[in-house]
Chain A
Amino acid sequence: MKIQYSFLKNFLDTKFSQNRLVDVFTQVGFECESDRDLIEFDVTPNRGDVLSLKGLEREFHAYQAKKTNRKLETTKLSLIKDRKIINQIDDSGCGNYHLMLVKGLQKIKNLDAKKRNFIDSAGIPLIHPLVDLGNYVMLEIGAPMHVFDLNKLDLPINVRFPKSNNNSLEVIGGDLKDIQSSTLTIQDQSGIQAIAGIIGSERSAVSSNTANIAVEAAFFKPETIVNQARKYGLSTDASHRFERGVDPEIQQLALARYLFLLNEIAVYESVKLYYSKSKKTKKKNVHLDIKRFNDFSGLSMKTSQASSILRNLGFDIVTKNSKSLLFNIPSHRFDIALEEDLYEELLRCYGYDNIPVSIPKAGPIIKNKRDDVSDKLRIGLVHAGFKELMHMPFVSKESFEKLNSQDWAAAELQNPINENEPFLRGSLFRSLFNAVNNNVKKGYTSIKVFEVGNVFKKENRDFVQSLHLSGIIYYHDMLQGWSQKKITYDFFSLKAEISKLLQTIGIQNAEFHPARSLSPFNENALDIFLGKQKIGIIGEIDLSITEKSIKKTTFGFEIYPEKISLSFKNPKIKKTSKFPLSTRDINIVIDKSFVFQDVEKVMSQGAIKNLTSFHLVNTFEGKDIPEGFVSMTLRFTFQNNAKSLLESEINRSMQMVLKLLEKRLNAKIRS
């Protein structure tokens, strides 16, 4: 809501500067800022009652600790009930409906320049003096009004929901809207004449020929109006107020004010005020227990101070005893229902900044606090030279399908920001590919990046989110420094990187097995297992999946931190041997249908005496090795806890090793 400072200043009868007023209203809870000679208020949705000069005046006076007594000048009329004018109103959406019929209007002139300026600067277009006047009274008092051309109405009026959908209505301005049965409407005998609380129809709008008018002031319930304006793409000043709530007891006052001001701009022959009202709502009362309030706030406010603050805001005391006060809630404060609501009124008028501050308190000690796996992995990756990235989770259908298997059902948005990206990601790789591509374009030749974030999946009627940690290694050119030392990064560098990462955070027993499901990797990929639980995958990126955004060999990994639970058990530390290690190398030739993992498996199964470890020294294919076979040099390490091993003991163990390899892998010894 935009209000002209000069107009507001006169209305409030104050000498406060524009900045001072902005400050005061901000302090009592109405965020606002200056825009040239205007003050723009950002009123919270619970305080529709402040969307008028009168509302601002109440708050301003409460801030100054005085009660608002000033009354606006009005021309009062008595109320007439007549079903030939207003037949029926729907109680569920309409609290009261007033129609003031003014006939024989003549010599209609414009509102004075000050008022016109005020309306215009509030962002409300000037249309016709009779309409402008309605808008002026709305800005002044807060009651939205509508002016019909009486000659174009076929009375009586009914306020009701249409019986069926698809009622075409040309609203003011000429747009055609299809009115649904869930929308409250103002109907005359010929059909819909207005959407309640939002906009009137073009058909019954006032024009330059208008001489008889029906001025509507009504209370429509917020729950009836909210969402309607949005539905029809018609956000009006009236709907803005009705959605937030309008004082249900000011309609008669608003019409009396309209009539008073009408006298200034026109002459008329007759005026009558008709109304229809649903059952009166009970007045609300709320208790205030001052001790409880002081306990809640940390203040020690006296009862007299509290009741004076509340009285200035229009809350009247109903009953009073030593412990508590009972306050009557004024009709414009539909936001107040609980004692805590009164606490807020007291605190904001007392000034939040005047409330004393206490020293921060700690909560109870947290037992069995666990390390966060993704935090540990993140730190490990940062130390290994990876940059952390973050991306939006919205993806297109195509890129989703490229990265996720068919049994992974997408979580789809009803209202995406970009209609080409309606899906929530099922993988973090799409954004990582783009990140690599964009930075390669800028000239980066070596990139290690990762992201930690949720991916989403639809499962039956529910949705599942899982935390992924995915990374990319694009390692080219630049890493050859001035020394021309060759620094390369291949699949086994990746395997080392991830093995080291896992072991560093305390996972000693991860196993790597050739991967089953591949995307976005090519066949050079490994699943990572912890027991039977798959905790990740590493591999070479299938460049075709990157949609040509990456053109050179790239590696990637995906880890599922939620699947990893770090052990709490302390390791049992064994006594170390004082005796020397002995190593023996052998060359074996095996059929390539076996892989190195088979060698490992065989060795882990045979209980070879004194063998502490073995590893692969090199592999060789080619000269002297038959096609389809591979030669491997294996180094075995022996040690005993109690003595130095004799040559004969080591030889015996080696014999066992050879026998095992021959028997299980059909390995041949190569001299």
Chain B
Amino acid sequence: MQIPQDLIETAALKLKSVQSEAEFFQLRAQYLGKKSFVVSSFSMLRDLKSDEKVIAAKELNILKNDLTKLFENALEEIEGRSDIVKLDVTLPADPFLVGSEHPITKISQKIINYFTPLNYQIFSGNEIETDFYNFEALNFPENHPARQMHDTFYLNSNSKSEYLLRTHTSNTQIHAMLSEDLPLYMLSPGRVFRCDSDNTHLPMFTQIEGLVVDEGVTFGDLKGILIDFIEDFFNEKMDVRFRPSYFPFTEPSAEVDIKFGSKGWLEILGCGMVHPNVLNGCNIDTKKFRGFAFGMGVERLAMLYYGVTDIREFYSSNLDFLNQFPS
């Protein structure tokens, strides 16, 4: 019996061009159906001599097995192929909302992230405060114009102490110095309030205050950490200028300016060596300990960092504005 040598190759070739299951079964019938060469050849075996019969049967069986395997594999492939619906994968994703932190939170966090590796502890403090912690303990003399500069919000109260909305986060210094062990390295972020509102001032804004009370603290230490912080914050070498100023709770006091492109010198924070009256008031031995403190307005830094020109935007809940700050 003559078995065509290229039967398998031809079948495999034809299978490759099969497009659907129907085509497949048609082809399978052609090769393995009743009228197919293999199956019909089996019925012709009886006409052969017995020794020929054995050899031919063996060959036919091998052929049939190979063909069957070939078609089984092909069917699997075709069935698998039929599950795939080709997608236009470039269509848009399902809609989703992207969350993000408020830019003021982000900038606060950026500032905090500089100081926490230096083991500055975070204290958040009271927004409603007594006159004592906001002014008196910070060496603001009673009836001093420095108090007027603060445009304080006062609360209606029937208490003996005068309550107000803190005008700076410096109140937290006093609480911490009275309650914590020395040396003290602290940071107090939070909201502060001034009874003042126009295009460049808001009645509420965010401050971050830093305080260090330790042995051997120098004015050079204060300068050192602030310059390093500023360069870290803006991620570049900056022109930084310290100039004398006045805060009742520091002596000497300084204001820090940075040179910001075409805008020239811009004031970004206030600082100084903690006034001995403040330390004494908190029962700190000024012969042994000294301190420095600094405070910065987060909105101002955020405006410089992001190029925001209107401070009111931060509190406008305008999603068009907020969407521009990625998470």
Contacts and interface: CB of A to CB of B under 8 A. Distances in A.
Given A344-B253, A413-B156, 11 more contacts: A297-B218, A338-B276, A360-B229, A361-B118, A362-B118, A363-B119, A413-B154, A415-B154, A438-B318, A439-B318, A447-B97
Contact of A388 (B101, B196, B252, B273): B101
Contact of A393 (B196, B197, B204, B219): B204
Interface string A221-234: 01100110010000
Interface residues of A, number: 94
Contacts of A296: 218-219, 273, 290
Among B104, B117, B157, the one with the most A-chain Cβ atoms within 10 Å of its Cβ is B157
B155 interface: yes
Given A29-B243, A352-B254, A358-B221, A394 B203 contact: yes
A485 interface: yes
9 contacts: A29-B243, A46-B246, A227-B143, A296-B273, A298-B218, A348-B252, A383-B99, A387-B322, A461-B157
Interface stretch (B5-13, B66-74, B78-86, B144-152): B144-152
Contacts of B100: 382, 387-388
A453 B189 CA distance: 13
Contacts of B128: 411, 424, 456, 463, 465
A44 interface: yes
A412 interface: yes
Contact of A352 (B126, B242, B315): B242
A309 B136 CA distance: 32
B89 interface: no
A434 interface: yes
Interface of A: 26-29, 31, 44-47, 222-223, 226-227, 230, 243-244, 295-299, 338, 340-341, 343-344, 347-348, 352-353, 355-366, 372, 378-379, 381-394, 411-417, 424, 431, 434-435, 438-439, 442, 444, 446-449, 453-454, 456, 458, 461-463, 465, 478-483, 485, 487
Nearest to B319: A439
A385 B98 contact: yes
B99 A385 contact: yes
Nearest to B287: A292
A45 B219 contact: no
Interface residues of B, number: 90
A479 B92 CA distance: 13
A482 B91 contact: yes
B241 interface: yes
A231 to B, nearest CB: 12
Main secondary structure of the interface of B (DSSP, over half): mixed
A297 B224 contact: no
B203 A389 contact: no
B65 interface: no
Contacts of B160: 461
Nearest to A391: B315
Contacts of A295: 216, 218
Nearest to B275: A340
Interface in B122-141: 122, 126-128, 141
Interface string B103-124: 0110000000000011111100
Contacts of B105: 378, 388, 390
B317 A439 contact: yes
Contacts of A424: 128, 165
A306 to B, nearest CB: 14
B51 to A, nearest CB: 58
Nearest to A467: B124
A386 B98 CA distance: 7
B320 interface: yes
Interface string B177-190: 00000011100000
Contacts of B92: 481-482
**What 3 A-B pairs are tightest by C-beta distance, nearest first?**
A363-B185, A29-B244, A298-B220
A476 to B, nearest CB: 12
Nearest to B248: A46
A387 B253 CA distance: 39
A442 B320 contact: yes
A397 to B, nearest CB: 13
Contacts of B141: 223
B224 A357 contact: yes
A442 B319 CA distance: 9
Given A29-B245, A45-B146, A227-B143, A338 B319 contact: no
B314 A390 contact: yes
Contacts of B252: 340, 343-344, 347-348
